[in-house]
């Protein structure tokens, strides 16, 4: 394992280091965080009415699996948003924190912000730094067509960088006469106890979606034999699925990206309901955490399907009516495809312990750089009166091609370093 504290001084997240007094990170089941889940809940709970939350529900008892899942309802969420936020974790307080902070993240990410309207050619003429077509994975960004821009920062040196508002704000509608260059989504949006922590978690999501969307479009992935997964927390989650007689496939995507990244697929042969065939994904510097994120997200997907209330379930309405046998064969096909591409012994993957926020920033910046991604642009979406950090992050070259298949990935196949 490398000594994280001796990283380079100038790196893609260096400016964030100057903002923080470097709080230590703690192990927190599905993440490393600077405050325990109970403390995080204590900070966000008093804001629940201002976030428009009308109900907080523990979904765990709805499913037989027993992995903690919570949901919070925001009935007045902006049109285009889902009114439910789900959260998951190894323990109930983590799952509740995840649901509440997702509500915070979605609230702050949906608010109208000051924008600059300009065509890329005008920005160039005025010397204003901005993201271009290549950064966004687009074939082109017409030079003379106006679009709305929002002020972000280069996370390496703090300099101003304009980012298309369509990339940052969700939901987003372009005003008449303005281009909407990308399909808006919440990929890259996250909250946290500090701005650095929010940026780190947004980065984990960007890495995860970039890698998993390539895999879901037919990219490579290796099977992880379950008997190589020996960490107590991951084993406990796997045991919960095994006891519920749910089959689990774990696909390793680590070799295709810059951090340990996994896709988990579940099949429930005992259930005569196709919608319980679900997936979950996770990326994190620590392989155990990344896998726990994917395993718990799959449980969240089951609970979401059982709850049946989330607006975006409309997109999978045909799955609800599908033949479970077809789902089962798709599951087996996926397992065999991954097996044919190779096998990862889980014990060989990096498992750095939580250290300080600064060490985490350096570790992630070094991993990005090793993969050929030398720049991170973040937009601080914190609402001062709420006082809890929210950020949106772009890693030029990384895209979520599930949201928009036409966006292209700038891929560097780099094995992660321990």
Restricted to residues 214-253, the positions that interact with ligand ADP (CB under 6 A) are none
CB atoms within 10 A of CB 245: 11
Regarding 97 and contact with ligand ADP (CB under 6 A), the answer is: yes
Helices (H), 117-184: 120-125, 133-136, 165-168
Q: Which value, to the nearest 10 degrees, does the dihedral of the CA atoms of residues 57, 61, 63, 65 take?
A: 120
Rounded (10°) angle between helices 287-307 and 232-243: 30
Q: Which residue of 163, 193, 206, 298 would you call a contact of ligand ADP, by CB under 6 A?
A: 193
| C-beta of 4 vs 97, nearer to ligand ADP | 97
Helices (H), 308-384: 317-320, 324-341, 357-370
**How far apart are the C-alpha atoms of 153 and 382, rounded to whole Å?**
14
Q: Which residue of 191, 254, 256, 267 would you call a contact of ligand ADP, by CB under 6 A?
A: 191
Residue with token string 């060490």: 359
**How far apart are the C-alpha atoms of 275 and 313, rounded to whole Å?**
10
We find the least distance from the C-beta atom of residue 280 to ligand ADP, in angstroms, to be 9
We find the least distance from the C-beta atom of residue 330 to ligand ADP, in angstroms, to be 23
**Stretch of 99-107, 148-156, 312-320, 396-404 lying at the interface with ligand ADP (CB under 6 A):** 99-107
Binding mask 19-48 for ligand ADP (x = CB under 6 A): -----------x--x---x--x--------
We find the least distance from the C-beta atom of residue 153 to ligand ADP, in angstroms, to be 19
**How far apart are the C-alpha atoms of 268 and 281, rounded to whole Å?**
18
**Stretch of 98-106, 242-250, 266-274, 350-358 lying at the interface with ligand ADP (CB under 6 A):** 98-106
Which strand (E) or helix (H) includes residue 251?
strand 247-252
Cis-peptide into 171, omega within 30 deg:
yes
We find the least distance from the C-beta atom of residue 348 to ligand ADP, in angstroms, to be 25
**How far apart are the C-alpha atoms of 292 and 236, rounded to whole Å?**
10
Residue nearest ligand ADP (C-beta atom):
101
**How far apart are the C-alpha atoms of 166 and 184, rounded to whole Å?**
5
End-to-end CA distance of the chain: 5
Q: Which residue of 16, 29, 72, 102 would you call a contact of ligand ADP, by CB under 6 A?
A: 102
Tokens (6 digits) for 147: 């679009």
Sequence-distant (≥ 6) Cβ neighbours of residue 323 within 8 angstroms:
274
Regarding 131 and contact with ligand ADP (CB under 6 A), the answer is: no
We find the least distance from the C-beta atom of residue 38 to ligand ADP, in angstroms, to be 9
We find the least distance from the C-beta atom of residue 67 to ligand ADP, in angstroms, to be 13
Q: Which residue of 12, 67, 118, 190 would you call a contact of ligand ADP, by CB under 6 A?
A: 190
Regarding 334 and contact with ligand ADP (CB under 6 A), the answer is: no
Question: Do 109 and 170 touch, CB atoms closer than 8 A?
Answer: yes
| C-beta of 68 vs 350, nearer to ligand ADP | 68
Number of residues counted as binding ligand ADP (CB under 6 A): 17
**Stretch of 186-194, 262-270, 310-318, 370-378 lying at the interface with ligand ADP (CB under 6 A):** 186-194
Regarding 393 and contact with ligand ADP (CB under 6 A), the answer is: no
Q: Which residue of 192, 231, 285, 288 would you call a contact of ligand ADP, by CB under 6 A?
A: 192
We find the least distance from the C-beta atom of residue 30 to ligand ADP, in angstroms, to be 6
Regarding 101 and contact with ligand ADP (CB under 6 A), the answer is: yes
**How far apart are the C-alpha atoms of 252 and 288, rounded to whole Å?**
12
Q: Which residue of 17, 63, 105, 234 would you call a contact of ligand ADP, by CB under 6 A?
A: 105
Candidates 281, 292, 294, 287; CA nearest to 348 is 287
Restricted to residues 252-311, the positions that interact with ligand ADP (CB under 6 A) are 297
Regarding 87 and contact with ligand ADP (CB under 6 A), the answer is: yes
**How far apart are the C-alpha atoms of 156 and 161, rounded to whole Å?**
11
Regarding 71 and contact with ligand ADP (CB under 6 A), the answer is: no
Question: Do 362 and 352 touch, CB atoms closer than 8 A?
Answer: no
**How far apart are the C-alpha atoms of 71 and 87, rounded to whole Å?**
6
Which strand (E) or helix (H) includes residue 234?
helix 232-243
Give the residues lining the site for ligand ADP (CB under 6 A).
30, 33, 37, 40, 87, 97-98, 101-102, 105, 190-193, 201, 205, 297
């Amino acid at each position: 394992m490398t000594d994280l504290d001796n990283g380079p001084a100038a790196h893609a997240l260096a400016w964030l280091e100057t903002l923080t007094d470097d709080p230590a990170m703690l192990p927190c089941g599905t993440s490393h965080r600077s405050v325990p889940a109970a403390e995080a809940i204590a900070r966000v709970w008093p804001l629940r009415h201002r976030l428009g939350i009308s109900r907080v529900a523990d979904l765990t008892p709805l499913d037989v699996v027993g992995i903690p899942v919570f949901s919070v309802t925001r009935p007045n969420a902006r049109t285009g948003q889902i009114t439910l936020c789900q959260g998951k974790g190894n323990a109930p307080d983590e799952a509740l924190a995840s649901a509440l902070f997702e509500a915070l993240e979605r609230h702050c990410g949906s608010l109208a912000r000051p924008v600059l309207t300009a065509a890329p050619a005008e920005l160039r003429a005025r010397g204003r730094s901005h993201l271009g077509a290549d950064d966004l994975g687009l074939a082109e960004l017409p030079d003379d067509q106006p679009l709305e821009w929002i002020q972000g920062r280069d996370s390496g040196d703090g300099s101003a960088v304009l980012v298309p508002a369509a990339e940052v704000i969700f939901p987003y509608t372009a005003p008449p006469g303005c281009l909407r260059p990308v399909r808006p989504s919440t990929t890259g949006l996250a909250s946290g106890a500090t701005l650095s922590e929010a940026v780190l978690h947004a980065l984990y999501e960007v890495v995860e979606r970039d890698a998993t969307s390539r895999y879901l479009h037919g990219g490579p992935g290796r099977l992880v034999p379950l008997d190589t997964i020996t960490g107590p927390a991951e084993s406990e989650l796997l045991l919960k699925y095994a006891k519920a007689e749910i089959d689990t496939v774990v696909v390793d995507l680590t070799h295709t990206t810059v951090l340990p990244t996994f896709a988990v697929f579940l099949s429930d042969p005992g259930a005569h309901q196709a919608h319980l065939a679900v997936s979950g994904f996770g990326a994190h510097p620590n392989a155990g955490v990344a896998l726990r994120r994917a395993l718990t997200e799959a449980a969240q997907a089951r609970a979401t399907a059982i709850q049946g209330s989330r607006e975006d379930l409309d997109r999978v309405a045909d799955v609800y009516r599908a033949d479970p046998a077809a789902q089962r064969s798709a599951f087996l096909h996926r397992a065999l495809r991954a097996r044919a591409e190779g096998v990862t012994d889980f014990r060989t993957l990096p498992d750095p312990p939580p250290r300080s926020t600064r060490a985490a920033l350096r570790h992630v910046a070094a991993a990005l750089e090793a993969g050929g991604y030398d720049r991170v642009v973040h937009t601080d979406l914190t609402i001062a009166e709420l006082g809890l950090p929210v950020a949106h992050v772009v890693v030029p070259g990384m895209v979520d091609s599930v949201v928009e298949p036409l966006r292209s990935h700038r891929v560097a196949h780099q094995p992660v370093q321990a």
